[in-house]
Chain A
């Protein structure tokens, strides 16, 4: 539901003009990092996170990791600094990595064992594809790259077995039309 026209007062933001080494900048950096992590976690709770939003948040987190200007100025004992920095870096990269892996599993139906080539146009079937993972045979390239198992690996096979040979049933229209799209992919459209 929409909030009832609540006018949210924006807190006056103090922009640190002293640059990446200032304490204010560091505080803002930490703030943005924690907000970004919160957003990522909340996004994961949604049934289907927005890919654009997730990518922008992930890129912001990555940027925060790279712009680590403050740590270099400190002078704690070398072993302590190294440990702290490693821990900090580890948490950033782990967070980014988990965001992107989660994107993969949520959006695209699971981590894929074999990279699927994009749906291609008819004209491209005879020419060798630069992106192929080893399609050098004389056969049309799509046959080398895509096997039936690859296409159907995330499909409930029991539903398909029931459908083969039957006329389309209204309740299974969706699966039939999905099957049709795989069919034309295999037939090279």
Chain B
């Protein structure tokens, strides 16, 4: 796969943008998760209103073979509704926190979607044929009078307009006291884990009325609570291994073969703190907001407030690579604490070959790092640069006194425009970037 930044033969260009153009953004339309399926043919988004929209990749047009096909709406459905917890008198938000696809095993597609409390398994299937010629009912569905039936016929399948149906097949509820932050499908394709602030549960996809608790960090005395679970993921190949990250910047790798309860980790990843950069906010900015295994399973990547780190699973005492996302914010941490931006949870993702990583920032900027060439690039998801096939211009934030042309100063960044969710196609150079209520799709320009 081609590199990320620079070079004469590789450039990112605009492909599509989905969503309303209005300046007034409805809260329910804010995209809260983005995920490609295993083949990259389907792209799912979840929003704060509890809806899931699935886009499907259309085949390339014969007239324009130099372009990849487009993603068009395939299915839209209401996954979660607002609920009320009667025991605690609290409303449960319908916001979709995560979507995870299951590997495709037949013609239908399956995905898991979760809000704060409940996980649902959805089946998305196509129907393009309809049976006609029933014996017991008319074409419009009315039951026929049995005395009128004098002959028997075999119903035939007739083509009909394609209909995509989404139906909930399983509902996994009542297993999380705290807010679910992660779900991850295991490589055995039979189980998956769900993690909230203090506990991680293991489910079987067929069984909804019970789950196994495999991690519990809730202290007996809540006054001793100083750390929460922030993300968890199953290893892509070893079905007994998973990792979870914490608000203190640590990652624990657990082996489910070692014990049924994985409170004791097998490996503990933590980078020693740099004493010269210590501040009141050191712990908050070390809180890990996302953890993702590489496709190879040999590395994992973590995102904290200012950086992305790549860890070798065989080395626990420090990451093998560290990439600064927006180091210019380090001197602004006090203000970012005051306006709550310091609590924003950015996600990160790998490309298909694990040679590049991507994460979001503010001002609708997102950053990509090429692990081989060590080059990085900052791009912007904006309507202004959304002309068809327009090449994206690299952006730069000026940190010094003198601001060059086309650079933007730190003080001019819009902290309300944050890119928290991004996804990279598993095989091709196609990326999906969620900017508040808009979904941008960018692809490389094939020369």
Residues in A lying within 8 Å of B, measured CB to CB: 1-11, 13, 15, 28-29, 31-32, 35, 39, 47-48, 50-53, 55-56, 58-60, 62-64, 67, 97, 100-101, 103-104, 107-109, 115, 118-124, 131, 154-156, 174-175, 177-178, 180-181, 184, 189
Q: Which residues of chain B are near A115, meaning CB under 8 Å?
A: 220
Q: Tell me whether A122 and B212 are in contact (CB under 8 A).
A: yes
Q: How far is the CA of A136 from the CA of B156 in the complex (A)?
A: 68
Partner of B343, one of A51, A56, A177: A56
Q: Tell me whether B177 and A108 are in contact (CB under 8 A).
A: yes
Q: B85 → chain A, closest Cβ, in Å?
A: 8
Q: Which residues of chain A are near B227, meaning CB under 8 Å?
A: 55
Q: Tell me whether B337 and A32 are in contact (CB under 8 A).
A: yes
Q: Which residue of B lies closest to A110 (CB)?
A: B88
Q: Tell me whether A55 and B87 are in contact (CB under 8 A).
A: no
B63 within 8 A of A: no
List CB contacts (< 8 Å) of B194-223 with chain A: 197-199, 201-202, 209-214, 216, 218, 220, 222-223
Partner of A2, one of B27, B174, B175, B202: B27
Q: Tell me whether A174 and B86 are in contact (CB under 8 A).
A: yes
Q: B191 → chain A, closest Cβ, in Å?
A: 12
Interface residue stretch chosen among B157-165, B371-379, B384-392, B409-417: B409-417
Q: Tell me whether A60 and B179 are in contact (CB under 8 A).
A: no
Q: Which residues of chain A are near B202, meaning CB under 8 Å?
A: 121
B8 within 8 A of A: no
Q: Tell me whether B222 and A121 are in contact (CB under 8 A).
A: no
Given A52-B197, A52-B230, A101-B223; A120-B213 close (CB under 8 Å) = yes
Q: Which residues of chain B are near A103, meaning CB under 8 Å?
A: 222, 225
Partner of B247, one of A7, A9, A56, A181: A56
Residues in B lying within 8 Å of A, measured CB to CB: 23-25, 27, 30, 83, 86-88, 90-91, 173-175, 177-179, 197-199, 201-202, 209-214, 216, 218, 220, 222-223, 225-228, 230, 247, 260-261, 280-281, 283-284, 287, 331-340, 343, 410-417, 436
Q: Which residues of chain B are near A107, meaning CB under 8 Å?
A: 177-178
Q: Which residue of A lies closest to B411 (CB)?
A: A9
Q: Which residue of B lies closest to A175 (CB)?
A: B86
Supply 14 A–B pairs (Cβ within 8 Å), ascending by A: A1-B25, A4-B24, A47-B90, A50-B343, A58-B226, A103-B225, A109-B87, A119-B199, A119-B212, A119-B213, A131-B220, A174-B83, A178-B174, A180-B209
Q: Report the 8 A-B pairs with minimum CB-CB distance, sorted nearest first.
A: A104-B222, A118-B216, A121-B212, A119-B213, A100-B223, A123-B260, A51-B197, A121-B260
